[in-house]
Structure 1
Amino acid sequence: MASLVSMVGRIYQAFSPPQQPAKVGDALKFGILGAASIAYVKNIHGRSLTPLTYKLRPLALIIPAKSHPEVIVQAVSARDRKKADDFARSHGIPEVRDSYEDIIHDPNIDCVFIPLPNSLHYEWAVRAIRAGKHVLLEKPSVSNSTEAEILFNLPELSQPNGPVLLEAFHSRFFPAWSYFRSLIDPANVVHINAVSMIPWWLTSKDDIHFNYELSGGSIMAMGTYNLAALRLFFDAEPEECLNCEVHAYTDGIHDKCDYDFRAQFRFPNGGIGEASSTLKGPTSWTPSHVTVTNKEIIMEDKSLPESQLKAQKQELTLHGFVHGLFWHRVDIKDVYEIRDQNTGNVIRKWEEKTSQKAYTFKEAGGDFADLPGEPYWTSYRHQLEQFVNRIKGRKTQHWVDRSDSIAQMKMLDMAYEKSGLGPRPTSSFR
């Protein structure tokens, strides 16, 4: 019961964080390109039920900004002015602009947040950077690796005191992710399996996920989290996509957009990474999880007779690796065997299992113990902390650098090529 009360309190504070009484004088002013509409849960008869509290833009920037003394969400723009007006009124944003151009060319705006459909990320990130704005760019950063190579190698990004560009891979900034990664020695990893999902009742054919021209697809949606987990925990880039099975609608309209996928990759040390996700999952939401399996090691045990040996195989699982604030758990399972050295027969076998959570860096311990954060900080709030630190010239403990984002898009392309659907289309913008 105590843990349930703690969880409810933590989540409540995540959506209603203590607000800073006053922002500092040199606070960064953000402009948002695009206005979110409220997502409604629909029952099987199509009737709208209660509005979801999961709203991408408020969770990704507006709510975290409330508790950050150096961030002000100043303006929003949308192609539909009424939508922008309603969004601004709902979230206390003081200014509404008529166009995206008005935001990126406003000298009063320091940073631009781009949560537009995937196909528009490249164009508006380039435009914003050329206008001298810092850019917080929703993941996946762009539609394919061709766009990534151009965007992340823009000359403006290499200039002293030039714009800061960050692919908003929020999950990688959460304490539990850092703690889990600290437990892994990539040289010992032989297999990784990453699984994620979205229930069927949160998607429909009309969603941008199923629009090829908008660079939709399950690999581009939740799948990008899975593929990032493989790359980061192997600490390497895949050499080959061995297979990628997908399912897509076959109506001639949405047939290039996968609603689920299962892919397998080979990594340089011979390890195998598997990833699967669906946008048409079961009714009950199953938390994402990634399991890392280490190679077997033979342990010295002088208590055993010379004819026997002791073997250990370790398996580590991070449950809830996408949105760890709501719920997560790190499981460490060690499987031991006592074997006869001559026959290989197993004489005795047992398991030892421990679990750990890290809602703060203090809980993560080790090198992370002194890093800032509160139990109610979402991964987005931790991400915002580092984004501001980088802009202000302060040390950043976690970051997604440009080469990382390019490599990520190459892996997505690799999966789409193997699937037969092909990479998402390249923008005509130059």
Structure 2
Amino acid sequence: MRIGILGAARIAPTALIKPARAVDGVEVAAVAARDRGRAEAFAGKHGVPVVHGSYQELVDDPSLDAVYVPLPNALHAEWTLKAVEAGKHVLCEKPFTSNAVEAQAVADAAQAAGVVVMEAFHYRYHPLMERARKIVEGELGEIRRVTTSFCFPLPRFSDIRYSLPLAGGALMDAGCYAVHCLRTLGPGEPSVTSATALLRSPGVDRAMTAELAFPGGATGHVQTSMWSRRLMSVSARVEGERGSLRIINFVAPQFFHLLTVKTAAGRRRERVPGEPTYTGQLRAFLAAVQDGVPPLTPPADAIANMKVIDDIYRAARLPLRGSAG
């Protein structure tokens, strides 16, 4: 599978170039950037053989099977749709699109074209989360509350992640992970009951908290920030009638993580071995493209995640990102 990269993004070496060296059958074959000089420098540094003069030129390259989209959030839908129209499979960075309407449009286009489109929630491709789900379903009994957080400091306020036109905000960046993890561990799809934002600029959240409700009566809580009093937190907690589970660092468990379970049988800690999340993600993308193996983060899942994000923005009385705002 030959993949082209749209944009000389900082995340691309970690998310694609390094994993491609570990996954047989994958070649990073081309890159394009708005600045050709930047693309050439990126290609030279990372051994990418072809540089295209524009995003469209890369998308139209008949030698490529797939496209990786690590562009700013506001461009995800546009360039995923163009890649799909060109018959390419797409691995699109999170968040999938700017809003749920765009996510549905991408899902419809991918289905009509018969191509694989996958959202890059890489953490789902580490064995940690499947182990956590097994514990939740088998040991905790009826689930009562799920809480997730992803907070980190980003005081560089000129960063595009604070740009409303580029679909930025804490909820869109770190928060999309917290929402996704809550949905992954929770008992069904949640609805939003309330949300409160701290703003960096009009319409742009630097922090967000939200309360949610699951169909069976369980409640949920999401906390995320790029600049707030809570500087660093990447965790999840599930409370059930028979016990609780807590995960520290569900996003990048290959560096460090801790899973703690408390039940009537006592308290135990587990660590779940596995290859880097991005390597597992690339293996899953290849398996989906070549063998038709359904990925864990398909467009239908992305639509559901974007609906929750949209509803949190509505509850916080902030505009939706993108054209739906």
Quickly name the TM-score band, shorter chain normalised: over 0.9
Identity of counterpart residues, as a percentage?
32
* Aligned match of 1:403: 300
Q: Give the residue type in structure 1 aligned to 2:121.
A: F
Letter in 1 for 2:133: R
Specify which of 218, 228, 240 is matched with residue 294 of structure 1.
Answer: 240
| Aligned pairs (5 A) from 1:132-211 | 132-154=87-109, 156-158=110-112, 162-185=114-137, 188-200=142-154, 203-211=155-163
Residue equivalent to 1:15 = none
Instruction: Report the Cα offset of residue 401 of structure 1.
Output: 2.4
- Whole-Å separation in 2 of the counterparts to 1:69 and 1:401: 23
- Hey, what does 1:369 align to over in structure 2? none
Unaligned runs of 5+ in 2: none
Q: CA deviation at 1:157?
A: 2.1
1:75 aligns with 2:75: no
Residue 356 in 1 paired to residue 270 in 2?
A: yes
Q: Indicate if the aligned counterparts of 1:189 and 1:271 stay in contact, CA closer than 8 A.
A: yes
Task: Give 1:195 deviation, angstroms.
Answer: 1.1
| 2:37 pairs with 1:108 | no
Q: Distance in 1 between matches of 2:175 and 2:81?
A: 25
Partner letter of residue 413 of structure 1?
A: D
SS of alignment partner, residue 83 of structure 1:
helix
Choose the corresponding residue for 1:279, options 196, 212, 226: 226
- Provide the C-alpha distance between the structure 2 equivalents of 1:235 and 1:144, rounded to a whole number of angstroms: 23
Q: Secondary structure at the match of 2:208?
A: strand
CA distance in 2, matches of 1:72, 1:404: 27
TM-score norm. by structure 2 comes to: 0.95
Deviations 1:382-429 (A, max 9, x none): 011011011112545x5222221111110000000001112112289x
SS in 1 for 2:194: strand
Provide the aligned length of Structure 1 versus Structure 2.
323
SS at match of 2:259: strand
Q: 1:119 Cα shift?
A: 0.3
Q: Which has the higher contact order (CA 8 A, sep 6+)?
A: 2
Contact 1:123 1:427 in 2 (8 A): no
Q: State the alpha-carbon separation in 2 of the partners of residues 380 and 411 from structure 1.
A: 25
Partner of 1:421: 318
Distance 2:119 2:76 in 1: 10
Q: Distance in 2 between matches of 1:325 and 1:110?
A: 29
Task: Decide whether the 8 Å contact of 2:99 with 2:324 is kept in 1.
Answer: no
Do structure 1's residue 213 and structure 2's residue 165 form an aligned pair? yes
Q: Which has the higher helix share?
A: 2
SS in 2 for 1:392: helix
Q: Which of 209-218 and 181-190 deviates more?
A: 181-190
Shift of 1:115: 0.3
Report the Cα offset of residue 208 of structure 1.
1.1
Query: Shift in Å at residue 187 of structure 1?
Result: 6.6
Contact 1:169 / 1:400 at 8 angstroms: preserved in 2?
A: yes
Structure 2 distance, partners of 1:187, 1:143, is: 36
Partner of 1:389: 287
Q: Which has the larger radius of gyration?
A: 1
Q: Which residue of 1 aligns with 2:198?
A: 247
Unaligned runs of 5+ in 1: 1-27, 37-54, 296-312, 337-350, 361-376
Deviates more, 1:351-360 or 1:270-279: 351-360
Residue 136 of structure 2 aligns to a residue whose secondary structure is: coil
Q: What is the DSSP-based 3-state SS (H/G/I as helix, E as strand, rest coil) of the residue aligned with 2:87?
A: coil
CA distance in 1, matches of 2:2, 2:284: 16
Quote how far apart the aligned CAs of 1:234 are.
1.5
Which amino acid is the alignment partner of residue 197 of structure 2?
Answer: V
Instruction: Name the amino acid aligned to 1:230.
Output: L
RMSD in angstroms over aligned alpha carbons? Answer: 1.9
> What aligned pairs does 1:6-85 form with structure 2 within 5 A after superposition?
28-36=1-9, 55-85=10-40
SS at match of 1:178: helix
TM-score by length of 1: 0.72
Superposition deviation, residue 137 in structure 1: 0.5
Indicate whether 1:332 and 2:261 are aligned: yes
- Asked if residue 412 in structure 1 is aligned to residue 320 in structure 2, the reply is no
- Paired with 2:196 and 2:229, the residues of 1 have a C-alpha distance of 19
Q: How far is 1:235 from its partner?
A: 3.8
2:218 is matched by which residue type in structure 1? G
